[in-house]
Amino acid sequence: MSATTQTPVQPSNHPFDVQDFLATRAAAVNLALDRFLPSAAAKPATIHRAMRYSLFAGGKRLRPALCLAAAAACGADEGEAMPLACAVECIHTYSLVHDDLPAMDDDDYRRGKLTNHKVFGEAIAILAGDALLTQAFEIAAQCRGWPRYSHQRVVLELASAAGSLHLIAGQVADVEGEGRRISIQQLRYIHERKTSALLRCSVRLGGMSANCTAAQLKALTDFGCNIGLAFQIIDDILDVTQTSQQLGKTAGKDAASQKATYPAIVGLKKSRALAQRLTRRAFSALKRFKGKAGLLEGLAEFLLSRDR
């Protein structure tokens, strides 16, 4: 049993295999990303090799999977969501490359491999992160838009999640909070921006690519907010309960760098209970889909019980 599943949040009665969904969609996303990105040989080759090194280092592709599953819940072909799923993954990978830099978390391992700056040097790692962020918008810009969601609306959604009010805001608060006692409210502020914003954006973009109704978008937003926060709480728990080998990155880093985390503030037991409560709320948000959001439910369950 994994560290995070003492009591099931809800009986698993999904007619599909989440692991299989993740594996097949990761393969499809990898294929699409490979097509969207300049080849490793394109000049200057160093930057394209560095971008590809981190992008294809073996990430779980959870954000693209959520994006594709949200499109399916709204009755659309997953193919409509694929460019946006790839754009989100590029932003996520850029944030990891920059987060690992000596000026940030200073990490040597990510996704089970040496971090980008350890292989290519700091200057190229910074540029690879910049290029992945830019690449995300180049990919998203190729979307034609949908009747309820214009091309402009979709690009704005992505920019807002990645910008200084969300992803970057969370990172700034995280950096400024290091070594200081912060409240649970401040920690929630960090997690909602640093982690939850991009997960929420992933499901919202999936819905938009399916031309979802306003009510469906609201339900997806509620789902995304809840699983986003639960995801980071589980990440905090795994940092103390798993090994570096299991995580593919340095375990115990949060405590070593005196970072505020849910386990540090409320303890492991309460942290697990909170992640379970948030996942239950996420399930409730899906009621509107009347049984058509089984993939999203399965993914939420998986995120709660994951061990890496």
Residue 168 engages ligand GRG in binding (rule: CB under 6 A) = yes
Question: Binding residue for ligand GRG (CB under 6 A) from 78, 80, 99, 192?
Answer: 99
CA distance 231 to 287: 21
At closest approach, how far in Å is the CB of 75 from ligand GRG? 26
Cβ closest to ligand GRG, residue 161 vs residue 217: 161
Q: How distant is the alpha carbon of residue 23 from its chain centre?
A: 16
At closest approach, how far in Å is the CB of 147 from ligand GRG? 32
Residue 60 engages ligand GRG in binding (rule: CB under 6 A) = yes
Element at 304 (helix H, strand E): helix 294-305
CA dihedral (50, 234, 220, 218) in degrees, to 10, reads: -120
Look at phi and psi of residue 106 and say left if phi exceeds 0, alpha if psi is from -120 to 50, else beta: left
Residue 157 engages ligand GRG in binding (rule: CB under 6 A) = no
Site for ligand GRG in 175-194 (CB under 6 A): 194
- Count CB-CB contacts under 10 A for residue 149: 21
If 0-12 CB within 10 Å is exposed, 13-18 middle and 19+ buried, where does residue 27 land? exposed
Cβ closest to ligand GRG, residue 199 vs residue 220: 199
Cβ closest to ligand GRG, residue 111 vs residue 272: 111
Question: Binding residue for ligand GRG (CB under 6 A) from 66, 96, 131, 282?
Answer: 96
Catalog residues that contact ligand GRG under the rule CB under 6 A. 59-60, 62, 92, 95-96, 98-99, 104, 111, 167-168, 170-171, 194-195, 232, 235
